[in-house]
Amino acid sequence: MQISAELAESPVYDPDGGLHTLAEVWRDGPALLTFLRHYG
């Protein structure tokens, strides 16, 4: 699976709060992404 260069540079947080790019997360294998929208 290939991801676009634009998407690869998207910032994501790890469970410990560390900031990474999506490309860094996917480098080692599949990753689960969760989108959370806050209402209120």
**pLDDT for 39:** 85
Tell me how far apart the alpha carbons of residues 13 and 31 are, in angstroms, rounded to a whole number: 12
pLDDT above 60 (res 1):
no
**pTM for the structure as a whole:** 0.61
Query: Per the structure, how many domains does the chain have?
Result: 1
What average pLDDT does the chain have? 84
Please indicate whether residue 35 or residue 10 has the higher confidence score (pLDDT).
Answer: 10
Using pLDDT thresholds of 50, 70 and 90, give the confidence band for residue 38. confident
What range defines the domain where residue 7 resides? Answer: 1-40
Tell me how far apart the alpha carbons of residues 22 and 30 are, in angstroms, rounded to a whole number: 11
